Structure 1
Amino acid sequence: MSFSVTIEPSGRQFTMQRDQTVLGAAIDAGVGLPYGCKDGACGSCKCKLIEGRVIHGAHQTKALSPEEEAAGWVLTCCATPQTDLVLESRQVVSEGNFPIVKMPTRVTSLTRVAPDVIVMRLQLPATHSFGFRAGQYIEFILKDGSRRSYSMANAPHTLSDGIELHLRHMPGGKFTDHVFGEMKEKEILRVEGPYGSFFLREDSDKPIVLLASGTGFAPIKAIIEHMEHQGITRPTVLYWGCRSKADLYLNDWVEQAVARLPWLRYVPVLSEAKPEDLWSGRTGFVHQAVLDDLPSLAGHEVYACGAPVMVQVAQREFTAQAGLPTECFYADAFTSEADKHSA
């Protein structure tokens, strides 16, 4: 049995089977619904159900509470239809998404840029055509079939140099223990992508707030590179929150970008500055630094990436306290395997 799905206000439509998730069918149809983890853990794919009925599979209450479900919200990554559906998602993008491809890649370099962060570069096979939007991510397919997601940290126009990824070590992590331990250059890894709805909306002229925590800086870096390449000069400020100075692992790169791009400002924020950091800059929570500087976000767009708790708090407080329209908050929560299985 098949059902039709209409996304408002864009009017985009697609047809899906009863046993598919709404998000999976949308991805297959090239309709860019917002999403992050695809596992019912982060809440990035939450949409309003205008008409129809769905059944939700397993998900976490922090991603969709019973009260939100009762109020008509759905998680498209784990919702299957029972009728034709009409959903509201003001973040749906136009047609022309890049096709998702599966391909082998070769590790060309592993560079330790912080005690627990490695910059990995991957060489793409000459036989594959791969396109993506700055800010999207790929998934590693491990030998046991499990997957790990990482945002591409370079813009599409630099693909001749391969794909750049920023990996934080998660002690005990099946993949990052290998990356930080035994992995060598020339190792072959299987990847699939591009995935994600986190990329710059170029049809807007609103000033931009880029908000990153930790390695959430990776897709933000790609967006900055893309803006420079495309000649996009919208006023932009980057807030990068880390624990200590050492965690600002590409601080020099950002400062060089600011020096040559008059439209870009940079505000690093440390939450646990150490005495040896000799830090005279901003401290505290990075989202609070934004609110302190920009008490009204009504005319802005925000692109937030990093720890789920940072993304969730920023979205809640930016919309409630600073007047940011809900549809102007774009996010990619870096949901770890531990996050996916926590309460």
Structure 2
Amino acid sequence: DIEVKTLPCRVEKLEHLAHDVVRIYLKLPSSERLQFLAGQYIDVLIKDHEPRAFSIANAPHDDKYVELHIRFVEGGLFTDQVFHGMQEKAMLRVRGPLGTFFLREDTDRPAILIGGGTGFAPIKGILEHAFETGIDIPLHLYWGVRAKRDLYLDELPRSWLEQYPNFSYTAVLSEPMDGDNWSGATGFVTDAVITDYPDLSGHDVYMSGPPIMVESGHKLFMQHGLDESRFFSDAFEYAAMAESIKGMQQD
């Protein structure tokens, strides 16, 4: 069993990846390692407030830093700090790893991995782990966002297409902007999956993103033959969700 630890860490680097997404790299004390499974999450502990849950975006073999993808949420206490006040070298306290969202490796079933927005983060970790360990089942990533600018690391899965013959990638825009010149898939990411895979009875599905998307996807995929026990999702309510609800309560 992997031990859940509470650890101090330092913000090593902040990178703006999109208009509303920041990637932060956290450095743990040199005497500590965070053991985790690809796809799990950590809580960022905030004095006098509820912890904020963020998925770990790196794979366990690449653990020099803990990588998080943080989307700006209007009125969100922590995200506001990340976007408007946080400096490199800032200290945070985290607790983890947490969650049951990780790759099941005891199967040869093809896997469909669906990320909505920054729900791409844990899927990135899972895929990097699969590539590193030589897992050769078919892996199909669907990344659902509003507009092209929200595909904040689009070049990464595109580079995987060149390197890994068992990998496929479909980006899906729900509200393409006029200048996007988008000829790819549009609409709901879950519908795009069903268009490609009308019968899911032989597949595993991993899904991460806003709870409402995960819920509707779960329902839809069951109707298309997915075995209930082969649907894996982020069980925790996304930090963004919790923060936006808090924001509403404060208004």
Match of 1:144 in 2: 48
Distance 1:338 1:151 in 2: 15
Q: Out of 84, 105, 121, which is 1:202 matched to? A: 105
Unaligned runs of 5+ in 1: 1-95
Distance 1:130 1:118 in 2: 22
How does the TM-score come out when normalised to structure 2? 0.95
Distance 1:271 1:184 in 2: 34
The percent of aligned pairs where both chains have the same amino acid is 45
Distance 1:325 1:139 in 2: 30
Match of 2:147 in 1: 244
Match of 1:327 in 2: 229
Match of 2:31 in 1: 127
How many angstroms does 1:130 deviate by? 1.7
Distance 1:130 1:250 in 2: 25
Unaligned runs of 5+ in 2: none
1:97-154 Cα distance to aligned partner (Å, 9 max, x none): x100000000011100000000000001112232000000000001224200000000
Match of 2:116 in 1: 213
Distance 2:244 2:147 in 1: 23
Distance 1:330 1:128 in 2: 30
Secondary structure at the aligned position of 1:158 is classed as coil
Q: Out of 76, 94, 106, which is 2:10 matched to? A: 106
Structure number with the bigger relative contact order (C-alpha 8 A, sep ≥ 6) is: 2
How does the TM-score come out when normalised to structure 1? 0.70
Matches within 5 A, 1:67-86: none
Match of 2:209 in 1: 306
**Structure possessing the higher radius of gyration over alpha carbons:** 1
Q: Out of 60, 71, 75, which is 1:172 matched to? A: 75
Contact 2:76 2:244 in 1 (8 A): no
Match of 1:32 in 2: none
Distance 1:129 1:108 in 2: 16
Match of 1:84 in 2: none
Contact 2:77 2:243 in 1 (8 A): no
Q: More helix by proportion, 1 or 2?
A: 2
Distance 1:199 1:118 in 2: 23
Match of 2:242 in 1: 337
Contact 2:40 2:56 in 1 (8 A): yes
Provide the alpha-carbon RMSD of the alignment.
Answer: 1.3
Matches within 5 A, 1:241-280: 241-280=144-183
Paired residues, what number? Answer: 244
